[in-house]
Amino acid sequence: MPEYGKGTSAGTAVAELGRADVDDALVRLAGKVLRTPVIRSEQLDAACGARLWLKAENLQHGGSFKVRGALLAVEHLAAAGSRGVVAQSTGNHAIAVALAARAHALPALIVLPDDAPGTKVRRIREAGAHVTFAGTALAERTAVVAELRERHGYDVVDPYNDPRVVAGQGTATAELLSQTAAQGVRLDSIVVPVGGGSALAGACLAAAGHGTRVMGAEPENVPAFTAAQRAGGPVTVPARHTVADGLRPDRIGDLPYALARPDSTRVLTVGESAITDALQTALWLARLLVEPAAATALAAALVHAREAGAGTDIGVLLTGGNVEPALVMRLLAHTAPAGRRPGRGTDAGALSA
């Protein structure tokens, strides 16, 4: 596997990465991560007119799919004699690195944004990692990461620009493809949320040659992928607030951007109301608690389902379930549930593409 960031360019790493790396990751992660279930909901299908296949990574160790890439990356560092790891993240990668470091008996330093959800901060500390807070923008966190790496001589586990992280995240999509194939279904498309881009890049690697279209979903308020497509490469976008805290990175990673086939990959942008509606839809119709980042993918999938129509099979990567109870309460109160048919809100035109 290419050692990206150690003298290897994104272009070289992209050329060398492929589905075989995801298959290798599947083998290495076997028994260490959960093969999470794929959930169907007849009510959800009736509401959107297609068949949705929900990969429930909200039920994964650490509460998100990020443990896949983090375990793969930290396993490699530990084998290479690392003294400890440093990572920045809006939350889930941090939990994942903390858990992976504990599994390999390495110390972990985690840099979080000031507004990281308390639930995530708690889980990171429970895994024995040390937490530092640094502003709200990606650049602020990466500066602190660089400083901590220098001071301690630890290795950085990048949330996006690491081939192992991307290949690891790709195993969620690989499992989804294999679990649906086992039921005789070839997915027409898979929708994944886009923050730093590792889920999208991993999905593109995993689905290569499968005839399944990979689509992204990002908040209208942080359209980092769409802006990069427009600019012809990753750019930093103004960091407006989004409820999808997992999708707050204001710039796509170079490596995931290159892997995500930006010339042909479609990324839908999702409004804040549609994210909230989709979180409610997941809860009331599919009976799953997901975090807003995962709801962003579901929101986009519901829009895509209406375009694609009956008989279409759409996979949705429900990336995580680490969400504050208080935030859930606020989002559920967003429209009065009494008298309102659950899921109806997702019909509202709060989405743009």
Q: Which two tokens stand for residue 186?
A: 């070839």
From candidates 240, 326, 348, 352, binder to its own copies by CB under 8 A: 326
Task: Report which DSSP code applies to 87.
Answer: E
C-beta atoms surrounding 312 within 10 Å? 18
Residue 139: which residues within 8 A CB-CB, separation 6 or more? Answer: 236
CA dist 351 and 353 (Å) reads 7
**317 DSSP β-pair partners:** 55
- Determine if 263 is a binding residue for its own copies (CB under 8 A): no
Q: Which stretch binds its own copies (CB under 8 A): 40-48, 157-165, 188-196, 211-219?
A: 40-48
242 touches 270 (CB < 8 A): no
- Determine if 181 is a binding residue for its own copies (CB under 8 A): no
CA dist 31 and 34 (Å) reads 7
From candidates 1, 34, 131, 208, binder to its own copies by CB under 8 A: 34
Q: How far is the CB of 268 from its own copies (least distance, A)?
A: 25
Q: How many Å separate Cα 352 from the centre of its chain?
A: 21
170 touches 22 (CB < 8 A): yes
- Strand 313-318 versus strand 51-56 pairing type: parallel
- Determine if 329 is a binding residue for its own copies (CB under 8 A): yes
Could you give the C-alpha distances from 293 to 66, 67, 114, in angstroms and in order? 13, 16, 18
Nearest CA to 161 out of 231, 18, 259, 20 is that of 259
From candidates 40, 125, 213, 334, binder to its own copies by CB under 8 A: 40
From candidates 135, 152, 337, 353, binder to its own copies by CB under 8 A: 337
For its own copies, which is the closer residue by CB, 143 or 289? Answer: 289
> Taking CB under 8 A as the rule, which mask of x and - marks residues 51-90 in contact with its own copies?
-------xx-x-x---------------------------
Nearest CA to 173 out of 36, 50, 298 is that of 36
> Taking CB under 8 A as the rule, which mask of x and - marks residues 114-133 in contact with its own copies?
-----x--------------
For its own copies, which is the closer residue by CB, 20 or 333? Answer: 333
- Determine if 332 is a binding residue for its own copies (CB under 8 A): yes
Q: How far is the CB of 331 from its own copies (least distance, A)?
A: 11
- Determine if 135 is a binding residue for its own copies (CB under 8 A): no
253 touches 197 (CB < 8 A): yes
From candidates 24, 289, 306, 334, binder to its own copies by CB under 8 A: 289
For its own copies, which is the closer residue by CB, 208 or 328? Answer: 328
From candidates 241, 333, 344, 348, binder to its own copies by CB under 8 A: 333
Residues that bind its own copies (CB under 8 A): 34, 37, 39-42, 58-59, 61, 63, 119, 280, 283-284, 286-290, 321, 324-326, 328-329, 332-333, 337-338, 340, 342
